[in-house]
Chains A and B, each alone.
Chain A
Amino acid sequence: MAGPYDVVVIGGGPGGYNAAIRAGQLGLKAACIEKRASGGAVAFGGTCLNVGCIPSKALLHASQRYEEAQKHFAGLGIKATVELDLPGMMGHKEKTVDQLVKGVAFLLKKNKVDPYFGTGRIVSAGKVEVTGADGKTEILETKNIVIATGSEVTPLPGVTIDEKTIVSSTGILSLAEVPKRLVVIGAGVIGLELGSVWRRLGAEVTCVEFLDRIVPGVDAEIAKDFQRILTRQGITFRLSSKVTKADTGANGVSVTIEPAKGGAAETLETDVLLVCIGRRPYIEGLGAKEAGVKVDARGRVETDGHGRTSVPGIWVIGDVTTGPMLAHKAEDEAMAVAELIAGKAGHVNYDVIPSVVYTWPEVASVGKTEEEVKAAGIAYKVGKFPFTANARAKTIAEKDGSVKVIADARTDRVLGCHIVGPEAGNLIMEVAVAMEFGASSEDIVRTCHAHPTLPEAVRQAAMAVDNRATQM
């Protein structure tokens, strides 16, 4: 029996490893359990680092550069002949992941967190069992348990994932060759990002979505603009459609789709089918329910809003609980929970969590969408500014997209910001900081912005809230 620990974190993803690190920083005796293996060794970093955010961003970056060189260099006066080296691109991805995984292990060690390689199971409050790959078990005694087991791919009935021709977000990251045709089920963040990767590399991409819009949750006006841009780039959208069947044959996959509201079925032939209709909380075999931890109808571990589950001494963070399934949300919850366990004030402001779609152009949001503000009955004003009118966007030959700032009509407080455009993910952060401080759109306007930069578009959109944009 090992311990006693102050904190045992089950799961070493961005939530789990940050919780353990923060606990270590605060002088708590902490352990972190991870079952993912890479080359026989433990691989911390979770879905995000191993098969999610990080490898997809490596491929997004590389494929974007490839497309730029292929299609856009000529417009800048550069003549080049480029050739795809897919194994080389995958090598870039693997090297990136490998280095970051090692980095996490180093950070855990640096902060005196004990790593455990195995599967964690809650025996009861205060007791966690770790089962190693060899089947050996060990019991950890601990004052606090943090559930950070994350999420897994939601399967689609009628479609069996083999990770070769019918793949999930994991398999799509490691295709051996560029498919001629790729059908993506689900026009959410993952589908559009990975669809974009393979489209750039040469695949003919069709995106099937059950809803009548893409990227649900994103401001509708921005989403519409985004869809227009992606369509122009070559992605075909089949909205309001559902997939009922996928049959793997000698020549690829036959995908049967029907209108969402019912109607005649049709078949799409494809070389690879990507299933990414969402993710669901992962608590299988965790023993949480058995230990009395309450779980809601959608399988999410319930909390009091501050990471506490229904069982004293058992905490929860990240995808496995309520809220958006985002690495940075898990990371914020991780720090808050570690601080609360250490008797300090930890807090997550769920109203100001940015989210980004890393396509090109990117889509970024923070705060409320116009639909949400309208539904809440808040009197609001909107300021919009297109990148076509931004000098820097012009110089880098980026003309797609716009910035949209939503502010309270009475107090001028910024309620939300939605961007589709170059580097939207970086641009959104100034608005997130402003919102965290309860700033008004005027506060953004009255903050000097360097020229010529893309953030000037954010400032001009804030100006437009008061009908005073100076560059349009």
Chain B
Amino acid sequence: MTDITVPNMGESVTEATIAKWFKKVGDAVAADEVLAELETDKVTVEVPAPQAGVLTAIAVNEGGSVAPGSVIGSIEVGAGATAAKPPEAPKPAAEAKPVPPKPEAATAAPAEAKPSGPAVDRIVAETGIDLSKVEASGKDGRHTKGDVLAALDAVASQVKAGAEAPAPHAPRPTTEREQRVKMTRLRATIAKRLKEAQNTAAMLTTYNEADMTEIMALRKQHQDGFEKRHGVRIGFMSFFVKACVAALKEIPAVNAEIDGDDIIYKNYYDIGVAVGTDKGLVVPVLRDADTKGFADIEKGIAELGAKAREGKLKIEDMQGATFTISNGGVYGSLMSSPILNAPQSGVLGMHKIQDRPIALNGQVVIRPMMYLALSYDHRMVDGKEAVTFLVRVKEALENPVRLLLEV
């Protein structure tokens, strides 16, 4: 019998949720066949069968939390030929002892249900606390009453501190016209990170607008040639990345982070590009953007976007950005204040390009305009720096030749 273990998902990943089991107990599986899908904070990871055989036990049901290396099931090796081997055959059941089979993979019941004692059961019944999220200090990983009380205390103090943690009350009943859905790990992480950013940073937003006439003309003029030469269309993003990198070089505080009592300035430009997927927003990172040309930037963004939408982004793809560009314009947003991606000190919000009458040289003219927003951490970025940064971005966008001449 072989254990099915959770693969290593990157250094910082300590926890994942079983999103889906593709096989059920008793199913025959081939080596490397995908058995289950795990959701981590950011990516989806597949768990392949370590060997061919029959899935004899599922130890953690869908919705259960797992850590890298933990056993989530087992395979009876070499039993592959008899695919229809019933799971309740006495032998595999007996051998599957370390991983008790739980065929009724119905609801998101707490996965590692080791009996913890009646006092813990009482508290769970009264408060609805999720034991899978409570550290267990008792014998063989059991929860003691003290563990659960400490967890409830922690939740209570978070609530007191104004954090977003839910109060430890029993889930309120839903009515017929309501639907209760467990937050995906991705959604829960988004919720947590956004709120952390708001709670930590002295966040402020400065606005400006850019006349996109020049960029649009440039794109129109060179689109065919660019595409023929580089195999990728020239979009707006490359201009924004270039403009931001130039402005970041001028205003280093926007490319920095606070670490304790120090500020760390970063002399590299890894730009996070927010990409919407059907499961939520992810921010893959375009590395060393300052060394890339327009074509490489466009190609890089296209690849990251495709990976994100297919759910194939790796954790490494999303770690370590020094600055973020968010584009609400693709959904039609005219103006918004983006939230920082901690610990970064700045995030640029792009918006919809809209024809608007503006005053130019004393004349009212209609121009394709975009509102720009820079949210920044006022703890390390001064107002003057933030405004200057955004003005530099605006100037570069309105006069893209500046990007070429680096002026």
Complex Cα distance, B100 from A284, in Å, reads 53
User: Which of A440, A445, A446, A447 contacts B144, CB < 8 Å?
Assistant: A440
A232 interface hit (Cβ, 8 Å): no
Closest A residue to B121 by beta carbon equals A446
In the assembled complex, A408 has its CB within 8 A of some CB on chain B: yes
Contact B118 A447 (CB under 8 A): yes
For residue B144, give the distance in angstroms from its CB to the closest CB of chain A.
4
Digitize B116-147: 1 where CB-to-A-CB distance is under 8 Å, 0 elsewhere: 01111010000000000000011100101110
- Restricting to A402-432, which residues have a CB under 8 Å from any CB of B? 408, 410-413
Residues in B with CB closer than 8 Å to A439 are 117, 119, 144-145
- Least CB distance, B136 to chain A, in whole angstroms: 9
- Closest CB in chain A relative to B98 CB, distance in Å: 15
Inter-chain residue pair count (beta carbon < 8 A): 50
Out of B118, B119, B138, B142, name the residue touching A412 (CB < 8 Å): B119
> Are A443 and B149 touching (Cβ within 8 A)?
no
Interface residues on A, range: 10 to 19
Asked whether, in the complex, the Cβ of B139 is within 8 Å of the Cβ of A440, the reply is no
| Contact B144–A411 (Cβ < 8 Å) | yes
Is the C-beta of B113 less than 8 angstroms from some C-beta in chain A?
no
Say yes or no: B145 contacts A437, CB within 8 Å.
no
- Whole-angstrom CA separation of A446 from B122 in the bound complex: 9
Let me know if B119 and A440 touch, CB within 8 A.
Answer: yes
A440 to B146, CA, bound (A): 8
Q: CA–CA, A67 to B146, complex, Å?
A: 46
**Closest A residue by C-beta to B119:** A442
Give A366 Cβ to nearest chain B Cβ, in Å: 16
Q: 1/0 per residue A434-459: CB within 8 Å of B?
A: 00111110110111000000000000
Chain B residue, CB-CB nearest to A447: B118
User: Does B118 lie within 8 Å of A411, measured CB to CB?
Assistant: no
Residues of A228-253 contacting chain B, CB below 8 A:
none
CB distance from B138 to the nearest CB of A (A): 4
Interface pair A443/B118, CB less than 8 Å apart: yes
Contact B150 A443 (CB under 8 A): no
Question: Are B144 and A438 touching (Cβ within 8 A)?
Answer: yes
Question: What 0/1 pattern do residues 85 to 124 of B give for CB contact below 8 A with A?
Answer: 0000000000000000000000000000000011110100
Which chain A positions have C-beta within 8 A of B122? 442, 446
How far, in whole Å, are A246 and B146 apart by their CA atoms in the complex? 55
A442 engages B138 (CB within 8 Å): no
Complex Cα–Cα for A410 and B144 (A): 12
Interface residues of A in 139-168 (CB under 8 A from B): none
Residues of B with C-beta under 8 A to A440: 117, 119, 144-146
Q: Min CB distance, A459 to chain B, in Å? A: 12
Interface 1/0 per residue, B133-174 and A, CB below 8 Å: 000011100101110011000000000000000000000000
Docked CA distance A436–B118 (Å):
15
User: Is the CB–CB distance between A446 and B149 below 8 Å?
Assistant: no
Q: Are A408 and B146 within 8 A (Cβ)?
A: yes
A411 near B145: Cβ-Cβ < 8 Å:
yes
A439 to B137, CA, bound (A): 11
Residue of A nearest to B123 (CB): A442
Q: Which chain B positions have C-beta within 8 A of A412?
A: 119, 145-146, 149
Residue in chain A with minimal CB distance to B143: A438
CB 8 Å contact bits of A389-411 with B (1 = contact, 0 = none):
00000000000000000001011
Given A410, A436, A437, A445, which contacts B146 in the complex, CB threshold below 8 Å? A410
Give Cα A45 to B144, complex, Å. 39
Q: In the assembled complex, how far is the CB of residue A37 from the closest CB belonging to chain B, in whole angstroms?
A: 43
A413 and B145 within 8 A (CB): yes
**Least Cβ–Cβ distance between B157 and chain A, in angstroms:** 14
Query: Once the chains are docked, how many angstroms separate the CA of A436 from the CA of B145?
Result: 14
The answer to whether B142 and A438 touch across the interface, beta carbons within 8 angstroms, is yes
The smallest C-beta distance from B180 to any residue of chain A, in angstroms, reads 30
Closest residue of B by beta carbon distance from A434: B117
Q: Which residues of A contact B138 (CB under 8 A)?
A: 437-438
Contact A437 B119 (CB under 8 A): no
- Assembly CA distance A447 to B142 (angstroms): 17
Contact A443 B142 (CB under 8 A): no
Chain A, Cβ-Cβ closest to B139 = A437
A447 to B137, CA, bound (A): 21
Q: What's the least CB distance linking A39 to chain B, in Å?
A: 46
* A413: B residues at CB distance < 8 A: 144-146
What is the CA–CA distance of A413 and B147 in the complex, to the nearest angstrom?
10
With A and B bound together, what is the CA distance between A447 and B117 in angstroms?
A: 9
Check B149 against A411 for contact (C-beta < 8 Å). Answer: yes
Contact A438 to B137, CB < 8 A, known contacts A411-B144, A411-B146, A412-B145: yes
* A412 CA to B146 CA, complexed, in Å: 7
CB–CB A446/B119 < 8 A: yes
Return A376 CB to nearest CB of chain B, in Å.
Answer: 16
Interface residues of B (CB under 8 A from A): 117-120, 122, 137-139, 142, 144-146, 149-150
Known: A438-B144, A440-B117. 14 other contacts (CB 8 A): A411-B145, A411-B146, A411-B150, A412-B149, A413-B145, A437-B138, A438-B138, A438-B142, A439-B145, A442-B118, A443-B117, A443-B120, A443-B145, A446-B119
Residues of A whose CB lies within 8 Å of any CB of B are 408, 410-413, 436-440, 442-443, 445-447
A–B Cβ pairs within 8 angstroms, 13 of them:
A411-B144, A413-B145, A437-B138, A437-B139, A438-B138, A438-B139, A438-B144, A438-B146, A439-B119, A439-B145, A443-B118, A446-B117, A446-B118
